[in-house]
Chain A
Amino acid sequence: MKKTILLPVLSILMLIVAGCSNEDYRLNKSVFIEDITNPGLPEYSEWGYNTFGAYIDRVPFVSDMVNLPAKIIVNPDTFNLVLNGKINNSEPASLKFRIFGYAPATYSDLVSLNGKSYNLKDNSCLVELTEAGNVTPLKIISGELKFVRAQKLFVDKELVKTILSGTFHIQTFRKNEPITISGGRFDLGFGTENFYNF
């Protein structure tokens, strides 16, 4: 009896919440469209689907539907791109790309990354992997971070975000064992909610 009353009440509440939600919430959601040639990873896209993914050896490390998949934090002279996701769909982890000497003032300045690629072995770059709260700076054997496309996104003629889409791959060490982070791809929207400059 309780269930029969509870279900319609919950449905009505959900509808009210959906109706009241901010319109731009849809642009902040993650849209995961699986890449059929790389199972477990999202398709490469340039829509601002707020997803990323890569294989750590053969295990997928991908964004999830709940946590914010990416943040950009700009300290005075350092650009930090943080990717938050889960390894093998269970263990929370994050991958941070640090680029020294690049400091965009606002999210709209990120378009200057369009077409740029960074050799992660260079001294101007640093990559950190965080697993179970432990931060490990990665010793890079080889690696590249490529921003295939950086585009301003206008909705109904108003600037709302900058979309960064690109690829990455890294050969490095994890627990003293060489590993490969391959097939990396990201399609992320950055706006006031996930771009920080301080």
Chain B
Amino acid sequence: MLTIILLLTIISLKIKTKGGMNYRISEKSTTFWFTVSSFTKRKFQQAKQNNIFANKSSAQREQFMKKTGILLLSLLLIQSLFAQENHRILLGFDFGGGTVAGELSNNWSIRQDLSSYSDYGNFSSGVRNESSIMYFSFKPELIIKQNRLSLLSGLRFTLFDSYLKGGINDEYFFLRYKSAPSGTEFARISTLSETVSYLSIPLELKYVPIQISNVGFYAKVGTEAGVKLNSKKSIAFTSETMNEYSEEILNTNPTKINSMYSTIYGAFGVRWESLKGTQVNMEWVLPSQFLTKNNLSQITPEMYSGFQLSVMFPLQKTK
């Protein structure tokens, strides 16, 4: 909802600022806020009159009130950010990537006979999880507070690659894929691979507390929500004769990949701005949390971190 409001606002501002002029939005913003609050108030009164809460449980009522409250607070925040300020719009792209940490899915039965290896300073044994995230976004950025505070949204394409491999000195691991009275069957696996892609809408708030000449240092928080585009699993055996059993073995893991995707993240970055207003940003993405489950089936992803590079181009000239 917030993203839609933001995008609509950006679009309406763009329409109203033809010719690259800066603008003041306070009057429009006040009108916007007044219209939204009147609409919400009217809807709430109608709901009360129609007694729609009569059949709702207290939990549902509480949830409705909570959602309404969050919506109103968000609108208030947007309105207050817009009040009495000059705004600029930038349009750009970002590209980022990093590693994904997570626990091995309980649905894989893997024999624990693998050699130990050093894992971020700790000794671990078992399969190695090599999972990564890579994304590419198209993002408008709305600078709303003296080149210090900005809101970003847009579209993001995210690709996860996940590989499970043997221990550091092991070329393979044993996967138990059948356990029946007739016998138990293991397969020697060199790699289990999975690729999942999502399309999401990010919403980010960026603050630049330190600006030295045309270089700024900033912090960013954001969240995103999206849907699955594609997923693919594959398996590499040590023996080619096993290839015909790939499907059977892959299907022993019943985890269905979530069609929804959401994360919450933060970053620290540095921004360089040219005289024409073009910005180049480099960010360190802090360990960030997944809000949805089962975005990968091989592992339970818990967090990711990495780096991001973005280039933003101004849509209006700066004053």
Residues of chain B within 8 A of A159, CB atoms compared: 183
Known: A26-B174, A31-B113. A156 touches B182 (CB 8 A): no
Closest to A154 in B: B185
19 A-B residue pairings within 8 Å (CB atoms): A18-B169, A23-B188, A26-B170, A26-B174, A27-B174, A31-B111, A31-B113, A33-B112, A47-B111, A49-B113, A114-B181, A151-B183, A151-B184, A153-B186, A156-B187, A156-B237, A156-B238, A156-B239, A157-B241
In the assembled complex, which residues on chain B have CB atoms less than 8 Å from the CB atom of A154? 183-186
Q: Least Cβ distance of A189 to chain B in Å? A: 11
Instruction: Flag whether A152 is at the interface (Cβ < 8 A).
Output: yes
Name which residue of chain B comes closest to A108, CB basis. B183
Name the residue on A nearest B184 (C-beta).
A151
- Whole-angstrom CA separation of A157 from B241 in the bound complex: 9
A151 CB contacts on chain B under 8 angstroms: 179, 181, 183-184
Main SS at interface, chain A: mixed
What 0/1 pattern do residues 129 to 151 of A give for CB contact below 8 A with B? 00000000000000000000001
The CA of A74 and the CA of B300, in the complex, are separated in Å by 47
**A29–B241 touching, CB < 8 Å:** no
Cα A29 to Cα B239 in complex, Å, equals 21
Cα A23 to Cα B238 in complex, Å, equals: 11
B184 with A153: CB separation less than 8 A: yes
- A36 touches B (CB below 8 Å): no
Docked complex: B202-229 residues within 8 A CB-CB of A: none
Shortest beta-carbon distance from A161 to chain B in Å: 10
Decide yes or no whether A99 CB sits under 8 A from chain B.
no
B113 contacts which of A18, A26, A153, A163 (Cβ < 8 Å)? A26
Kindly state the separation between the CA atoms of A15 and B138 in the bound complex, as whole angstroms: 48
> How long is the Cα–Cα vector from A114 to B112 in the complex, in angstroms?
24
**Residues of chain B at interface, number, CB under 8 A:** 21
B242-A152 in contact (CB<8A): no
A155 at the interface (CB under 8 A from B): yes
Most buried by B among A26, A33, A154, A157: A26
Contact present for A157 and B185 (CB under 8 Å): yes
- Which residue of chain A lies nearest to B188 when distances are taken between CB atoms in the complex? A156
Contacts known (A151-B183, A163-B184); A156 close to B111, Cβ less than 8 A: no
User: How many angstroms from the CA of A26 to the CA of B111 in the assembled complex?
Assistant: 10
Kindly list 9 other residue pairs between chains A and B, CB separation below 8 angstroms, not including A47-B176, A156-B242: A31-B111, A33-B112, A153-B184, A153-B185, A155-B174, A156-B237, A156-B241, A157-B185, A157-B242
* A23 neighbours in B (Cβ, 8 Å): 188, 238
| Chain A residues within 8 Å of chain B by Cβ, number | 21
0/1 interface trace, chain B 236-258, chain A, CB 8 Å (1 if under) = 01110110000000000000000
CB A106 to nearest CB in B, in angstroms, measures: 15
Contact between chains at B183 and A155 (CB < 8 Å): no
Q: Mark B173-203, 1 if CB is under 8 A from A, else 0.
A: 0101001011111111000000000000000
Q: How far is the CB of B5 from chain A (nearest CB, A)?
A: 52
Assembly CA distance A138 to B293 (angstroms): 56
Please indicate the chain A residues that have their CB under 8 angstroms from the CB of B174 in the complex.
26-27, 155
Identify A152's interface contact among B112, B184, B188, B241, CB under 8 A: B184
The CA of A29 and the CA of B169, in the complex, are separated in Å by 15
Chain B residues near A114 (CB-CB < 8 A)? 181
CB distance from B72 to the nearest CB of A (A): 51
Q: B187 contacts which of A27, A29, A111, A155 (Cβ < 8 Å)?
A: A155
**Nearest opposing residue in chain A for B242, CB measure:** A156
Bound: A151/B239 CA distance, A: 23
Find the B residue at minimum CB distance from A115.
B181
Residues from chain B with a CB closer than 8 A to the CB of A47 are 111-112, 176
Minimum CB distance partner of A26 in chain B: B113
| A contact residues around B237 at 8 Å (CB) | 156
Complex formed: what's the CA distance from A138 to B181 in Å? 34
The 10 closest A-B pairs by CB, nearest first: A152-B183, A154-B185, A155-B186, A156-B239, A31-B113, A151-B184, A26-B113, A153-B184, A154-B183, A156-B242
Q: Which residues of A contact B112 (CB under 8 A)?
A: 31, 33, 47, 49
CA A47 to CA B187, docked complex, whole Å: 13
Residue of A nearest to B182 (CB): A152
CA distance A47 to B112 in the complex (A): 9
Question: In the assembled complex, how far is the CB of residue B223 from the closest CB belonging to chain A, in whole angstroms?
Answer: 39
B111 contacts which chain A residues (CB < 8 A)? 31, 47
Chain B residues, CB < 8 A from A33: 112
Q: Which chain A residue lies CB-closest to B114?
A: A26
